[in-house]
Amino acid sequence: MKRTFIVGGISAGLLASALVSAPAQAADEVPSVILANTNLAAQQVAKFWLGEFKANLIGATPYDVETKVVAKHISTGGPAADSKPGVIPAIGDEKKSSSKSKNVNLPKTSGKVFFIGADGDPHWCTGTSVQSAYRNLVATAGHCVYDTESNAATLDKWVFVPGYYQGKTPWGIYVGKQGFTHYDFDVYEDGDRDYAFVTVYNGVIPTSAAFDKDYESKVYPTKALADAEKARLEADKTTGYSNLEVVEVRTLKPVGTPGSQKLAADWTEFHKYNPYIDPEDTWKNPVSGTGFDTKEISDDEFRAPPGHQADGSWYFSPDKKTLYFSKRDGRGYDYFKRTFWVNIDLDYKVVGKLLSIGLKDVGRLGDNVGGQGLAYNQKVGKPVFVFGYPSGSHPDGNYAFSGKTLKWAYGKTFAASASAIKAEELIGIKSSFTGEGSIGSSWLLNYKSARRLGYLNGVTIGVSDTDKNNRYDTSVSPYFDGETYGVYSAAKNLWSGRIV
């Protein structure tokens, strides 16, 4: 099933001249969800992505889930400001700077958001750090936080990695604590409100990752149960396991014990319970629960089995389950074979190595990479930079982007609507970004390359081929208005803290 979020039937128009005033969304009406509510839970999420030599980060694929909007409250016309324009300054840019740069320097605030999708596989979107009281806030598309596929509350194991590149986490990994979105997106999956703000814990980096501890599970009565536990451990890489195998656990039981079974044993196992009995001893009584059966055989049978030594008086079969020996009496030699057995309770357990990962605190997100400001109720038609990790192909099969590095697009915004997602208050920009991976890309107004800072004025929620030439040419975002500021305000003053 193709699940790329493609906006169909997109139309563009001029900003409506009549502005409709409406109060910003109240903070107590902003839906929020808990992503990781304890330090231990956050540690486990971090170890999931950092374990197995970061195989989960490297193996993640771009999120291309289609958003299915069931919106009952859709405004008409184009995007319209609901109050006066407003801006929140970026971290470190509270005082205006006159420095300039002719180059387009990429922002340190951008990175990848990683999570587990409804299909159980690791995926990623684009996200960006934004200004907040505790410098701990990430903005992205709403459907990169809220699970619109399975209707679960959130996507699992949510983290943000600024500056991510091929498994590298240059400023650490930041586990999501709490996500905030608009009521209309939470309830109706309204495309006009497809944005989210997530508070994150302090970043962490691994200090060690080595298989340095023996692992041993509890004992299971059947091999099937032990196999199931082995499969669960291999699938759950929260901590990491290696060289897992199911082994038998044999407990000696007296003959006749309910549930026990009499099994043929090799000499090594028999001797484990009878260390002072020589193989040929016939007079010593074995330990209760062990025994041997002796049968007289012919000269030919004594000499026929593999392992026979021409001048030997006794030898074992290759599997050590049968002893062949001879005894001399006054008439010559008699020949015998002896088989060994143990009466045991047979159980199973899983053994292997446990990956121990140490974590080190690297501080707050905003202190490490900064945070973009926020702009809302802005006039449509202003130029913006879009920063994201586009991946995947155009409809004609052309793979223009790999998703491995941060890319940018630039242009003036225009009013747009997208009937495919019942969104009427969008803004668009001409861009060749493909949809996979670019979802959640930051739209930065008044971006200054010298300081790598600007004002977040949108996040990509979809792409479109508007001229029908099988190449994406447009990206769209919700229009940031006073209600967007209301969602942001509900998140911006919440403390997260450290996890180690």
- Least Cα distance to 3 among 174, 123, 153 occurs for 123
What secondary structure letter does DSSP report for 173?
B
- Do 319 and 341 share a domain, yes or no? yes
Residue 427's pLDDT is 93
Question: Does the predicted TM-score (pTM) go above 0.85?
Answer: no
255 within domain boundaries: no
- Do 220 and 91 share a domain, yes or no? no
112 within domain boundaries: yes
2 within domain boundaries: no
Q: Which two tokens stand for residue 290?
A: 């062990």
The long-range contacts involving 218-225, CB below 8 angstroms and separated by at least 24 positions, are 218/349, 219/249, 219/347, 219/348, 219/349, 220/347, 220/348, 220/349, 221/347, 221/348, 222/348, 223/348, 225/348
Domain that holds residue 238: 215-250+349-354
CATH number of the domain within which 457 lies: 2.40.10.120
- Do 451 and 408 share a domain, yes or no? yes
Task: Out of 320, 354, 388, pick the residue that ends a domain.
Answer: 354
Beta-strand (E) ranges in 26-71? 32-34, 61-62
- Estimate to the nearest angstrom the gap between the alpha carbon of 205 and the chain centroid: 16
Q: How many domains does the chain have?
A: 3
Mode of pairing for the β-strands spanning 332-363 and 261-265: antiparallel
- Do 136 and 191 share a domain, yes or no? yes
* 97 contacts 221 by C-beta, under 8 angstroms: no
- Do 47 and 171 share a domain, yes or no? yes
Owner of token pair 């920009």: 429
The contacts of residue 98 (CB under 8 Å, 6+ apart) are: none
Q: Which amino acid is present at 202? A: N
359 within domain boundaries: no
Q: Which amino acid is present at 188? A: Y
Residue 78's pLDDT is 63
> In whole angstroms, how far apart are CA 429 and each of 159, 185, 238, 292, 460?
28, 22, 40, 85, 10
Q: Which two tokens stand for residue 103?
A: 């180059």
146 within domain boundaries: yes
| CA diameter of the chain | 124
DSSP states along 65-87: PPP----S----SS---SS--EE
Residue 22's pLDDT is 38
- Estimate to the nearest angstrom the gap between the alpha carbon of 211 and the chain centroid: 20
- Do 244 and 276 share a domain, yes or no? no
- Do 179 and 69 share a domain, yes or no? yes
Residue 151's pLDDT is 67
Q: How many CB atoms lie within 10 A of CB 301?
A: 13
CA distance 365 to 137: 8
How many contiguous H segments (helices) and E segments (strands) does the chain have? 7, 28
Beta-strand (E) ranges in 78-155? 86-88, 110-116, 122-130, 137-140
- Least Cα distance to 185 among 493, 7, 422 occurs for 422
Task: Out of 354, 383, 400, pick the residue that ends a domain.
Answer: 354
DSSP states along 219-230: -BSSHHHHHHHH
64 within domain boundaries: yes
- Do 307 and 389 share a domain, yes or no? no
Owner of token pair 């074992």: 316
- Do 230 and 325 share a domain, yes or no? no
- Do 479 and 434 share a domain, yes or no? yes
- Do 55 and 175 share a domain, yes or no? yes
Task: Out of 312, 331, 354, pick the residue that ends a domain.
Answer: 354
Each of the 500 residues of the chain gets a pLDDT tens digit; together they read: 233 344 444 544 322 222 233 344 544 578 899 999 999 999 989 988 886 546 678 888 898 765 332 223 223 446 777 778 899 999 876 555 555 666 789 999 999 999 998 888 899 999 999 999 999 999 999 999 998 777 667 889 999 999 998 778 999 999 999 999 999 988 888 889 999 999 999 999 988 777 767 889 999 999 999 999 999 888 765 566 778 999 999 999 999 899 899 999 999 999 999 988 888 887 788 899 999 999 999 999 998 888 787 777 889 999 999 999 998 877 788 999 999 999 999 999 999 887 778 899 999 999 999 999 999 999 999 999 999 999 988 888 888 888 888 999 999 999 988 877 778 889 999 999 988 889 999 999 999 999 999 999 999 998 888 888 888 889 999 999 999 999 999 999 999 999 99
437 within domain boundaries: yes
5 within domain boundaries: no
Residue 291's pLDDT is 93
- Do 79 and 167 share a domain, yes or no? yes
Mode of pairing for the β-strands spanning 453-459 and 373-376: parallel
Which class for 411: exposed (0-12), middle (13-18), buried (19 or more C-beta within 10 A)? middle
Residue 93's pLDDT is 63
